[in-house]
Amino acid sequence: MITDKDIQKKQRLDFTSAWTYDPAPESSDHVTISDKYDLFIGGKFVEPVSGTYFATVSPSTEKKLADVAEAGEKDVDNAVKAARTAYDTYWKKMSGRDRGKYIYRIARMIQERAREFAVIESMDGGKPIRESRDVDVPLAAAHYFYYAGWADKLDYAFPGRKTQPRGVAGQIIPWNFPLLMAAWKIAPALATGNTVVLKPAETTPLTSLKLAELIRDADLPPGVVNIITGAGQTGSAIVNHPGVDKIAFTGSTQVGKLIQKSLAGTGKPYTLELGGKAANIVFEDAALDQAVEGIVNGIFFNQGHVCCAGSRLFVQEGIADALIGKLKDRMETLIVGDPLDKNTDIGAINSRAQLDTINGYIETGLNEGADIYQCKCDLPSSGYWVKPTLLTGVSQSHRVVQEEIFGPVLTIQTFRTPAEVIEKANNTPYGLSGGIWTDKGAKIFKISTKIRSGVVWANTFNKFDPTSPFGGYKESGMGREGGLHGLLPYVELI
């Protein structure tokens, strides 16, 4: 017998398959990518002492975009010395008002070159242009605007106290939000009077190097911001350089622990923004269609390359079938492919190494007994891709539930009571973010205060604002970035 539910499902599928989109690629004509990039030290681009370069490739085409300098210890030393000279000569003597003007200028210039930054971010990192254009670049500009506003108001940020900059900040960032992570780091450091040595991730150096060009064009005093490229060894040289007064790191928990060990006993202050394994909790009284959008946004957009991705879904038992059915229908409408196409929802996995990691986790999940559902979409023939994936039939002890996969893979578990889901949600080494979907305000307050995470969204997911602090509990890190709290790691209060 055909039920109403079957008819509705068929109508939904007919509706979704009726929509096919012609390609709508964003033009890359207005973008200039040089064949080779040097290190930005002391306001100039300089060759690395060793003369070594490495290639950065587009993960959607596997074609080389540029050669990028690899900074060795001597280059790191030169960058730190340039930052120290700039600190002593100009930046610590400059009024907050004047520092603010420079930061406002950076913000405005990012807005002026927004399209160029968005296209390069998508080419180098693989994320859909819709996301780099609508999220990464505007949010990066917003962080500079926000912290520019604090530069001459530090007395009000910490009433009754005076602030002193720490000096030279060493900053190391990951590949998932390159321009935005650079903004999270550079903007508060400059606003509080510090100078900077920043290293982007080795797979996504291009927007940081474009930012270096912008900073040069903005006439910042030479050496106030130095941007050097390289991999783990370069990062380690920054961390261990005695001339660096403060470390700000965003990346994996594994590397965060190494950094913490190297800094133990040095007295050097640090902030660590590390991995996550967010629980996204849907109660029976939630608006299901809205929740489905939040789940999709939370784990599939940006290929799951989000530290706070809602990678563990907990559904209350009574609505599990209905919700998972709607989720599968929605997954069939997702467009996976060319990051520069404006219709694309899900772009390329950032690197071959990350692709192997994600596929390895899917295999582990299956070996542990999980059931898999992947959307039926076609994948491009070259580049690094993973179909949006659900893993059901998993339990708390499964590795795919405990460990960060950092890809478009969602584990699904059910629960009966609030106490059960709180227990399960908190049962990982991480504590970065979480989400709750319910009709009841009281339930939001009750559950969110019991989830051990730096941020818990209610009836939404992955919303960011420069005025709001962000950071983790447990192995998700220490310290906060963003908002007033984000100023504190860069100052000594006297």
Residues marked active site are found at 273, 307
Percentages helix, strand, coil for the chain (3-state, rounded to 5) are 40, 20, 40
Minimum distance from residue 441 beta carbon to ligand NAD (Å): 28
Report 279-298 residues binding ligand NAD (CB under 6 A).
Answer: none
Q: Which of 75, 245, 273, 341 binds ligand NAD (CB under 6 A)?
A: 273
Region from 146-154, 157-165, 255-263, 289-297 binding ligand NAD, contact rule CB under 6 A? 255-263
C-beta of 341 vs 404, nearer to ligand NAD: 404
Q: How many residues bind ligand NAD (CB under 6 A)?
A: 29
Q: Which of 171, 192, 250, 280 binds ligand NAD (CB under 6 A)?
A: 250
Q: Which of 174, 188, 347, 365 binds ligand NAD (CB under 6 A)?
A: 174
Buried (b) or exposed (e) across 199-226, using 16+ Cβ within 10 A? bbbbbbbbbbbbbbbbbeebebbbbbbb
Q: Is 406 in the site for ligand NAD (CB under 6 A)?
A: yes
Nearest in space to 411 (alpha carbons), one of 427, 394, 423, 424: 394
Q: Which of 138, 149, 221, 232 binds ligand NAD (CB under 6 A)?
A: 232
The whole-angstrom separation of Cα 88 and Cα 434 is 43
Q: Which of 169, 197, 218, 274 binds ligand NAD (CB under 6 A)?
A: 274
Region from 158-166, 269-277, 374-382, 410-418 binding ligand NAD, contact rule CB under 6 A? 269-277
Nearest in space to 130 (alpha carbons), one of 312, 311, 301: 301
Please name the residues in contact with 88: beta carbons below 8 A apart, sequence gap of 6 or more. none
What region, left, alpha or beta, does residue 112 occupy, with left being phi > 0 and alpha being psi -120 to 50 degrees?
Answer: alpha
Tell me how far CA of residue 400 lies from CA of 8, 132, 317, 415, 490, in angstroms: 33, 28, 21, 18, 36
Contact 420, 395 (CB under 8 A): no
Minimum distance from residue 249 beta carbon to ligand NAD (Å): 7
Region from 214-222, 235-243, 288-296, 340-348 binding ligand NAD, contact rule CB under 6 A? 235-243
The whole-angstrom separation of Cα 132 and Cα 348 is 13
- Tell me the residue number closest to ligand NAD, measured at CB: 235
Q: Which of 209, 404, 475, 489 binds ligand NAD (CB under 6 A)?
A: 404
Minimum distance from residue 237 beta carbon to ligand NAD (Å): 8
C-beta of 72 vs 222, nearer to ligand NAD: 72
Neighbours of 14 (CB within 10 A): 9
Q: Is 75 in the site for ligand NAD (CB under 6 A)?
A: no
Region from 80-88, 91-99, 171-179, 315-323 binding ligand NAD, contact rule CB under 6 A? 171-179
Q: Is 183 in the site for ligand NAD (CB under 6 A)?
A: no
The whole-angstrom separation of Cα 129 and Cα 26 is 8
C-beta of 76 vs 292, nearer to ligand NAD: 76
Minimum distance from residue 305 beta carbon to ligand NAD (Å): 7
C-beta of 172 vs 401, nearer to ligand NAD: 172
What backbone phi and psi angles, to 5 degrees, belong to 301? -65, 150
Q: Is 251 in the site for ligand NAD (CB under 6 A)?
A: yes
Minimum distance from residue 329 beta carbon to ligand NAD (Å): 29
Region from 81-89, 167-175, 322-330, 434-442 binding ligand NAD, contact rule CB under 6 A? 167-175
Which DSSP string corresponds to 390-450?
EEES--TTSHHHHS---SSEEEEEEESSHHHHHHHHT-SSEESEEEEE-S-HHHHHHHHTT
Q: Which of 189, 215, 228, 255 binds ligand NAD (CB under 6 A)?
A: 255
C-beta of 85 vs 453, nearer to ligand NAD: 453
Q: Which of 118, 140, 220, 259 binds ligand NAD (CB under 6 A)?
A: 259
Q: Is 236 in the site for ligand NAD (CB under 6 A)?
A: yes
Contact 159, 153 (CB under 8 A): no
C-beta of 338 vs 481, nearer to ligand NAD: 481
Contact 211, 124 (CB under 8 A): no
Q: Which helix (H) or strand (E) holds 74?
A: helix 73-86
Nearest in space to 461 (alpha carbons), one of 328, 289, 240, 296: 296
C-beta of 102 vs 177, nearer to ligand NAD: 177
C-beta of 203 vs 316, nearer to ligand NAD: 203
Report 298-357 residues binding ligand NAD (CB under 6 A).
Answer: 307
The whole-angstrom separation of Cα 468 and Cα 464 is 7
Q: Which helix (H) or strand (E) holds 170?
A: strand 168-172
Q: Is 172 in the site for ligand NAD (CB under 6 A)?
A: yes
Nearest in space to 379 (alpha carbons), one of 341, 347, 331: 347
Binding site for ligand NAD (CB under 6 A): 172-176, 199, 201-202, 231-232, 235-236, 239, 250-252, 255, 258-259, 273-276, 307, 404, 406, 432, 472, 477
